[in-house]
Each structure stands twice: as C-alpha cells, then as structure tokens.
Amino acid sequence: MVAQRLDGKLCAASVEEELHSRINACKSEGVVPHLAVVIVGDDPASHVYVNSKVKACQRLGIKSTHIELPASVAEDEVRATILKLNADETLHGILVQSPLPSHMDEEGLTDLIHPSKDVDGFHPENLGRLVQGRLDGMLPCTPSGVMRMLRWADIDLTGKSAVVLGRSRIVGMPQALLLGAKGADATVTVVHSRTADSKAVCAQADIVVAAIGRPEMVRGDWIKPGAIVVDVGINRVDDPTRERGWRLAGDVHPEVGEHASWLSPVPGGVGPMTIAMLMENTVRAAERSNQL
Ligand code: GUN
C-alpha cells in the first residue's frame, strides 16, 4: 500500500482563501485584524516559525506587530509587554512563541493573555471550554488544524480508534480532546513516555497522531495496514549531505508510507495548517471585537 498524501499546504490555501472575504468585511467596518507575536531569545527554529506567521499576516492583509526580546530580558518586562498588548484596543490577537527561555514561568506568563485575544487557545478559560466540549472558542492551532485537514480529506473518524502520541499542552492533550469530542467521535488513547508498550498500543489504532518530538520514532511496524497517520513532528536532524548540514524530519519514519492509507508529509503537512488556524483565530477575534 502507498499512502495518499494528506496535503496540509493545499488545505491551508483553501482555509486562507475563505478568510479573504471575512477580512474584507472586518475592514469595511473599520476593523483591521491585528496580531502581535512576541518572541523571547534566539532559538533559530522559533524564529523561523514566527517569520512564517508574520508572512502569513502580510499575505492576507492582517496587520502584525513583531516584538523580539533578548533571552536575558527580565520576566517582569515580558509580563509588562503582555499587559500592554492586552490593553491595546487596536489589537485582536496575542501570541507568545513557545518555548520561552527555561528560567521563565511560561504558563504563568501566557495565562496573562486576555482569553479573548488568546489566539493560541492555551489560556485556562479557552482550554476549559474545550474540556467542556464547547468548540466555539479559541482552539489550539495545531490540533484544530489536524482536525480541519482530516475533514477536508473526507476522513470519517466516527467510532475509529485514535492514538495520540504525546500529552503536551500545545498539541497532545488538546488533540485527544478534539478527536474524542462530539462530532468527531473517535475513541482516544494517549500514549506518553511512561506508556508500557507504545508500539503495541499504536499498532491497534485506526488513526495515529504523532506529536512527541522524536525524529522518525514511529516505524512501519507500529502502524496497522491502512491506518491514517498524521505527523506533527518538526525535528532538525544532522545531515552532512545537505549544504546547510541538517534536514527536517517528522516523528514518523518515511517507511510508514508503505503501511498507512493516508500520511501527512513533513514539511507541507501540519505546519501550514497551524499557521492557517492562527490566521482564522485572529480573524475570529477581530470579528468578535466588533460583534460582526
Ligand atoms: N511553539 C510551537 N508551536 C507553537 C504554537 O502553536 N504556539 C506558540 N505560541 N508557540 C509554539
């Protein structure tokens, strides 16, 4: 079996296409959707992600404010920056790129973002709504992008057994909630670092979402023939054959393509979907600010 490509780039383009008319409607009411992106420190991968987010704003006519702070900045200054952005009525979305430098209280800081501007969907109020099964709030971008991509490919999850590899606040946990929510209706198992036999659990799944951050850990024999596999991993691995000395690898080994019915590529799978959902959350926040 050769897996069909779950093409996030194509799906993201269709999401962005739908956003144009909503952005124009905002603008005709005098509201220019506006996103602030805060990055602290010099992690090269984070800078690449943030630049992609800013570029998507430019492409769509969403205003963006890009705030870069050095890793040595005092936590109080990051706190003051977020509070100032909360108070700015011309601004609809605030994103603090994760990870923050290790000496900072990342959750404490991102909890300061006003829930109505929390376009990452990480605030306890927004995650709490998700736990309650209310899906009309700000949903975390990567897991909601995965759900959108599955729906776009006409993949029905009802009654399927889903395994989520990883239990992070950003992807794994909210992904498990979305897969199991009413309307999606999968039966979900979360596999994590203390799971007794991850491979055996994975091998019984109809759908696997891998979000563990370990390059190519999911091998062909982890996957039931015909399963649907979504690769959330974006890992840099050394590759002396490349001029830049590294390549991107997902959490899923390429041989999985010989077992799965669908497989999302890295790059070009979940990454573009995360950005498209961030744009959608920003537009939704702008619409709600004006009750459009
Ligand atoms: N780091 C990796 N993914 C994300 C994300 O979706 N949002 C933020 N803020 N940081 C990230």
What is residue 292's predicted lDDT score, i.e. its pLDDT? 57
Q: Tens digits of per-residue pLDDT, 69-125?
A: 999 999 999 999 999 999 999 999 999 999 999 999 999 999 999 999 999 999 999
Looking at the structure, do residues 75 and 192 belong to the same domain, yes or no?
Answer: no
Whether 7 is in a domain gets the answer no
CA dihedral 48, 273, 236, 3 (to 10 degrees): -150
Q: Is the CB of 95 under 6 A from ligand 1?
A: yes
Whether 123 is in a domain gets the answer no
Looking at the structure, do residues 109 and 45 belong to the same domain, yes or no?
Answer: yes
What is the Å distance from ligand 1's center to 98 Cα?
5
Whether 250 is in a domain gets the answer yes
- How far apart, in Å, do the first and last CA atoms of the chain sit? 48
Q: Is the CB of 280 under 6 A from ligand 1?
A: no
Give residues with Cβ within 8 angstroms of 119, minimum separation 6.
Answer: 35, 92, 93, 94, 95, 138, 141, 278, 281, 282, 285
Mutate to test the pocket of ligand 1, among 46, 120, 280 (most ligand atoms within 8 A of CB): 120
Whether 15 is in a domain gets the answer no
- Confidence label for 144 from pLDDT (cuts 50, 70 and 90): very high
DSSP state of 41: S
How many domains is the chain partitioned into structurally? 2
Residue of the CA atom closest to atom 4 of ligand 1 = 98
Residue of the CA atom closest to atom 2 of ligand 1 = 98
Domain that holds residue 167: 141-271
By CB atoms closer than 10 A (0-12, 13-18, 19+), residue 272 is buried
Whether 17 is in a domain gets the answer no
What mean pLDDT is predicted for residues 5-10?
Answer: 98
Mean pLDDT score across all residues of the chain? 97
Q: Is the CB of 175 under 6 A from ligand 1?
A: no
Taking alpha carbons only, the member of 207, 193, 199, 161 closest to residue 3 is 207
Mutate to test the pocket of ligand 1, among 97, 104, 279 (most ligand atoms within 8 A of CB): 97
Taking alpha carbons only, the member of 108, 83, 109 closest to residue 96 is 109
Return d(Cα 99, Cα 120) in angstroms, integer.
13
Looking at the structure, do residues 105 and 171 belong to the same domain, yes or no?
Answer: no
- Confidence label for 290 from pLDDT (cuts 50, 70 and 90): confident
Sequence letter at residue 122: F
Q: Does residue 1 have a pLDDT over 90?
A: no
Looking at the structure, do residues 110 and 219 belong to the same domain, yes or no?
Answer: no
- In this structure, are residues 8 and 272 in contact, taking their beta carbons and an 8 Å threshold? yes
What mean pLDDT is predicted for residues 129-133?
Answer: 97
Domain boundary among 72, 99, 114: 114
Q: Is the CB of 142 under 6 A from ligand 1?
A: yes
Indicate which atom in ligand 1 lies nearest the CA of residue 95. Answer: 9
What is the Å distance from ligand 1's center to 287 Cα?
23
Looking at the structure, do residues 46 and 150 belong to the same domain, yes or no?
Answer: no
Q: Is the CB of 141 under 6 A from ligand 1?
A: yes
Looking at the structure, do residues 84 and 44 belong to the same domain, yes or no?
Answer: yes
We report the CATH number of the domain holding residue 202 as: 3.40.50.720
Q: Cβ–Cβ contacts within 10 Å for residue 65, how many?
A: 16
Return d(Cα 230, Cα 251) in angstroms, integer.
9
Q: Is the CB of 16 under 6 A from ligand 1?
A: no
User: The tokens of 10 are what?
Assistant: 């194509």
Looking at the structure, do residues 98 and 153 belong to the same domain, yes or no?
Answer: no
Whether 218 is in a domain gets the answer yes
What's the pTM value of the predicted model, to 2 decimals? 0.97
Q: Tens digits of per-residue pLDDT, 239-285?
A: 999 999 999 999 999 999 999 999 999 999 999 999 999 999 999 99
- Confidence label for 291 from pLDDT (cuts 50, 70 and 90): confident
User: The tokens of 33 are what?
Assistant: 């959707």
Indicate which atom in ligand 1 lies nearest the CA of residue 142. Answer: 6
Q: Is the CB of 120 under 6 A from ligand 1?
A: yes
We report the CATH number of the domain holding residue 94 as: 3.40.50.10860
Q: Cβ–Cβ contacts within 10 Å for residue 228, how many?
A: 25
**Segment (H or E) for 7:** none
Q: Tens digits of per-residue pLDDT, 207-229?
A: 999 999 999 999 999 999 999 99
